[in-house]
A and B are shown apart, each in its own frame.
Chain A
Amino acid sequence: MRVTATVNGVQHEADDVWPGESLLFVLRDRMGLPGSKNACEQGECGSCTVYLDGVPVCACLVAAGQAQGRDIVTVEGLAGNDGSLHPVQQAFIEAGAVQCGFCTPGLLVAAHDLLARDPDPADADVREALAGNLCRCTGYEKILDAVRLAAARLRGSGGAGA
């Protein structure tokens, strides 16, 4: 089957899609967008978190056909068109929140969503928002630092933006 969807603002098509495959597979292996990572394939790790119609979901748990005609934003879509990093991405680098980097794309999308909804989250809210994203390197402290840093900068600049 053919699946057509808007990904990061651009219309994408994939042909010969097996109906049982996941949106994650379509993104990575058919559309050439490997930013979303494939680890657990059961919604436990959050590495494949993408926006589906503006809501963060695990791309590994969306059937390819369910994405037909939908609007998807992946980690590749967070930076500006000129390649400038989103403040959440910049904060992850500066705070040392990236080690092996495998969980980072999912955490970036989850953190991006949190700050778009809540510009000044309490630590408990950050932990809750990131509860579905596993990181085996950092121990999470630097990730919390990064979200606090990004939140402060976004408040200073007047909004999370897209």
Chain B
Amino acid sequence: MEFLQPPSLAEALAAKAANPDALPIAGGTDVMVELNFARRRPPILLDLTRVPELAGWSLQDGRLRLGAAVTYAELTGERDGRSPVAHGLGRLLPGLAMAARTVGSPQIRNRGTIGGNLGSASPAGDCHPSLLAAGAEIEVASSRGARLIPIDGFFTGVKRSALAPDELITAIWITRPSGPEQFAKIGTRNAMVIAVAAFGLALHPGRRSVGTGIGSAAPTPVRAREAEIFLAAALEEASLWDTGGALKESVVTEFGTLVGAASRPIDDVRGTAAYRRHALVVLARRTLAWAWTDYQRSGYQRSGHSGPTGSAGTVAEEG
């Protein structure tokens, strides 16, 4: 086995182009398990931890660009001091921060990266439901150039993605949320669990739509499109985006039912298909109730404008 450690993105892309079967490694929290147990013997390990272009994040014209090497701990802000809520990323992307908070343990969150989570493309990847709900785009690059892949076109099968053999994941682009986000995950304990089922929800008052993401309950992470359309229509019809009025119980129930219907779970060691579907229905109802309470508390409906201005981030910043 060879070990390549390119010091720049250009060199990393050249190495991947020359060696499409090289296995990228960043935090190592997936790759090293496979190596330690001799499940995988790639001819080349391509270490991305020295590529400066993959590190860090920035806010560009209302969109967040997260470098692929941003760690779960950076998403949660857990090492930034005693009041992580006051810090950047967790506050800007609450749904993703909630999801990152459920990953592994502190040691794993210190090391594992969002790009690695996507690269592994596990149906149980913890970031995926929140990225789906947020409508993220995945920036990938090769020596041929760069392209953006919408997140709901990124996952193509169990642990398979739209990434070409010569491409590397370079960044994740997310429009700054205009409303509340929630995430919930079922597991046997709070730490160190692979999700039995997970659900991410984002309310987008800026564009009057709803985003969802289901984890661990289909061959790939998936959106619950009918649930999104149903809820957006129900909020519109009752003018709830403007009034922030109470959600009808029947709307919450139907939303949960549609989310459950969008799943395609299987029986495995972590749970049965029936349990997963039931859990998703409950998670969808709960996260909607939480998110709607967040929305009402945000004061969005009292801010005086007759409708959403489309300027991203007003709710989050005022909250």
* Interface residues of A, Cβ cutoff 8 Å to B: 1, 18-20, 22, 41-44, 46, 49, 55-58, 60-63, 65-66, 68, 110, 117-118, 128-129, 131-133
Contacts and interface: CB of A to CB of B under 8 A. Distances in A.
B105 interface: yes
Interface string B304-318: 000000000000000
Nearest to A1: B3
20 contacts: A18-B1, A20-B45, A22-B35, A42-B33, A42-B36, A43-B32, A43-B105, A56-B106, A56-B107, A57-B107, A57-B110, A57-B111, A61-B108, A63-B45, A110-B106, A110-B107, A131-B190, A131-B191, A132-B191, A132-B192
B47 A65 contact: yes
Given A58-B111, A63-B47, A44 B192 contact: yes
Max count, chain B CB within 10 A of own CB: residue among A22, A61, A65: A61
B261 interface: no
B257 interface: no
A118 B41 CA distance: 41
Given A19-B2, A19-B45, A20-B35, A62 B28 contact: yes
B191 A20 contact: no
A114 B56 CA distance: 24
A68 B5 contact: yes
A156 to B, nearest CB: 20
Nearest to A129: B106
Contacts of B105: 43, 46, 131-133
Chain B interface residue count: which class? 20 to 34
A143 to B, nearest CB: 15
Contacts of B108: 43, 58, 61, 132
Contacts of B33: 41-43, 61
Contacts of A62: 28, 32, 111
A111 to B, nearest CB: 11
Nearest to A44: B192
B239 to A, nearest CB: 41
Q: Which 6 A-B pairs have the closest CB atoms?
A: A132-B105, A19-B3, A131-B191, A41-B36, A61-B32, A65-B3
B29 interface: yes
A154 B25 CA distance: 38
Interface in B1-49: 1-3, 5, 25, 27-29, 31-33, 35-37, 41, 45, 47, 49
B144 interface: no
A44 B29 CA distance: 10
B192 A131 contact: yes
A42 B108 CA distance: 10
A63 B25 contact: yes
Contacts of A18: 1
B245 interface: no
Contacts of A110: 106-107
Contacts of B49: 66
Contacts of B45: 19-20, 63, 65
Interface core residue of B25, B28, B104 (most chain A CB under 10 Å): B28
B191 to A, nearest CB: 4
B152 to A, nearest CB: 29
Contacts of B302: none
B266 to A, nearest CB: 23
A131 B187 CA distance: 14
Given A19-B45, A22-B36, A43-B107, A61 B3 contact: no
Most buried by B among A55, A62, A66: A66
Contacts of A20: 1, 35, 41, 45
